[in-house]
Structure 1
Amino acid sequence: MTSEPSKAPPLYPKTHLLAASGIAALLSLALLVFPSSDVEAKKTTLSLELESPAEQLTQEQDAAEAVQATNEPAASPFAQIENSPEDTAQAAAPVAEEQKGPDHREVIVAKGDTLSTLFEKVGLPPTAVHEILASDKQAKQFAQLQRGQKLEFELDPEGQLTNLHTKLSDLETITLTKNDKGYVFNRVTAKPTVRSAYVHGVINSSLSQSAARAGLSHSLTMDMANVFGYDIDFAQDIRQGDEFDVIYEQKMVNGKSVGNGPILSARFTNRGKTYTAVRYTNKQGNSSYYTADGNSMRKAFIRTPVDFARISSKFSAGRKHPILNKIRAHKGVDYAAPRGTPIKAAGDGKVLLAGRRGGYGNTVIIQHGNTYRTLYGHMQGFAKGVKTGGTVKQGQVIGYIGTTGLSTGPHLHYEFQVNGIHVDPLGQKLPMADPIAKAERMRFLAQSQPLMARMDQEKATMLASSKR
């Protein structure tokens, strides 16, 4: 009698297989909850959403008060995965507002669509369009359609329009609702949550490209250039390897960015020199930018670039030229003074020209940031070290009174331009450069110091993440 061969035991017991399946499931969950460091590093180099110090303080106080009131520990950030079956079922139930009934219609505006064609798509007659537009002056906004815009219709059982709704932007929606007297127009404007975001960038091509790559919008890039415009010539001074850090306000609605506010603080390193700026609103409600220690980012101009001089000719649209003997606009102010009298730079800036310029004779032209430019003509000569392409400080001697060019006697011809337009330097309201008032200095430092520290912390965190 031959015996049957006994069955070989399974290679892996069922308990082992169940355990392995469980481990695989846990690993899959871990990968979803904890992404790789490479992904996190990429996120950090872009826009990082952060609550402002004021919001953080408010949230901390609210949490502390809640803990004190309940005498229980604060909820875990992962508390949502510990819900009871009843909570889970309730959370899974659709929100009433999101339910779409059988009389709900939605249409997307396509190229060539009009309000009439959209009404026709949902089965409404042309007379309904006229009734809608005539119901309220503001109802005409429904006819100002944009491609991709969604219109939502609610109809009654007879197919008549009872409600028309559309979103004009991330912040604004309009609605028409029918009642016994006709249609009622309603506009709802959402109030965004204001948070702060941090970006860091290194320039390896142009400022605009590097800023965009870092997550900074074009308008904020221009704002940054304006903030540092007195110290940095963004047209000519930018170099590869320059870097910047910016904290700015970001407007959020339902977790989506819908716009930006002002720059709160910024730091720019140009050719090895670092500049800082902090936005501060004083108790009168006036906002301006200051260095981290409270000095104004705006540089004042010296009202008179020549000491102990008299005005020999004022700014005029129609003055008879003393040499040419014909009417010609005098686009500056003449200061008469003895030959050799020192001439001072009206403000910090870059020397665009230190040389001859036609009837102006020996001339110095200085660019002050992005907005202002000054010209000094008829000089006898230039001060030592003043040359085209160099920089000068406010009050620095740049040359001396002379009579070069079309000049009848020793004097300085001084011009002042704002955005390329000549203005009267005697009547122009020049930017002030007052530092933070002593009475507000402590309040300013309470805002500026955390912002500076925050930029340092975010930059260090970002760099650490990128090295993982």
Structure 2
Amino acid sequence: MKAPQPKSLFNRLAQRLKTFPRRHLITVSVLGAALLITHVLTPTEDTKAKRNAKPIKLTLQDPELQELLPDAADPVTPTLVPTIEWHKEKVRSGDNLSLIFQRAGLSDRDLYEFMSGNPDTKALKRIHPGHELEFHIEEDRLQGLRYRQNRLESELFTRSGQKFDHKTETLQPDTHTAYREAVIKSSLFIAGQKAGMNANLIMELANIFGWDIDFGLDIRKGDHFKVLFEERFLNGEKIGNGNILAAEFTNQKTTYKAVRYEDSKGDVHYYTPEGRSMRKAFLRAPLDFRRISSNFNPRRLHPITKTVRPHRGTDYAASRGTPVWAAGDGRVIRAGYTKPNGNYIVIQHGNNVQTKYLHLHKRKVRTGDRVKQRQVIGTVGSTGYSTAPHLHYEFLLDGVHRNPRTVLDKLPKARSIASSEMPRFLQATQPILAALENHHQQILVAKTGHN
């Protein structure tokens, strides 16, 4: 009797397959066909290099099938998705959409088709120098357009037949806190710039304390400040600053502190650490601070008549066209022109306070208009009895000219955080104020070289 011969590999495989579920057999059949096609159509080495394809290794989840098909790990190259090429055009001064489309190789007919293809394309009518337009063009036909207003926001239009689909793309930057401090030796701007702050951040700092400090008149050598603020990064590159979180300013030995807080209703304001709003009824100065040509002086020598006349107000020297703000909420009771005052505006605030703005280049409001604090009401000029561009500003309390640099301290104070909101306010702001102080202490330690 002959000894049983070992079964062939084919017989053993067939015997095992009979015991497999139907879904496994189908899987094996599909994989076998795929492997056969792949082997037959495998490209040459040169073709592989041109495609720059990355192999994907297939593995079987069933260990029994893996054992029976040990060679089923040959690489399979997926179909490559073609990349979209975008042609970029930056908006230049004097540009319009027709010129930009022409530079991209498109016609006015293409522009008309695009603008009529979706009502949201009207956003492109507000383009400005520095904005970017990216074009996806295939076979001389516009397939897509991306309009970038800034690094974070863009509008994407994609062709769908004769129309264009639209969606807004918004990138979220990474936000980190940063700290700066400085002592003023000549001016706030120079001190801020030496500390690594840009102009916008310096002006925002001044705006926060603008109800307590006249940054044109009150700044002195030795004043100092510290500020905790946000910096925004995109792909590791700084793209700008965010909000000021907390700040402290010492002016003529008086220290003011402010912290940013969003209340339970979603409103955001700056408050003192005790919860009093930094916003008050009147600004200390009605324009961005520059330099002052004349302080409050009742026996000032008039620049034109050369005689001593009361100068019941303050002159803020600034370049022609500088925006002038309303110092507080109110109603314009006079807006006109006289030979001595030039273009002027008078605003009534409540029942007992008036402010006057003289020698304006242009008036932006009319008699009877309601205005809000910091609303632009005109621009600096030199109309009337004026020798150079400047704003003459007057503050009247009960019909009497008062020095705005001192009288504001006697006016009603700002509202405080409601008692019901105070626990939430303290919980949110105390860590921020502590961080402001901790950064300052770290700098002191670094300067002194010891703990």
Structure 2 length as normaliser, TM-score?
0.48
Query: What is the TM-score of this pair, normalised by structure 1?
Result: 0.47
Structure possessing the higher relative contact order (Cα contacts under 8 Å, 6 or more residues apart): 1
Which structure has the greater CA radius of gyration?
2
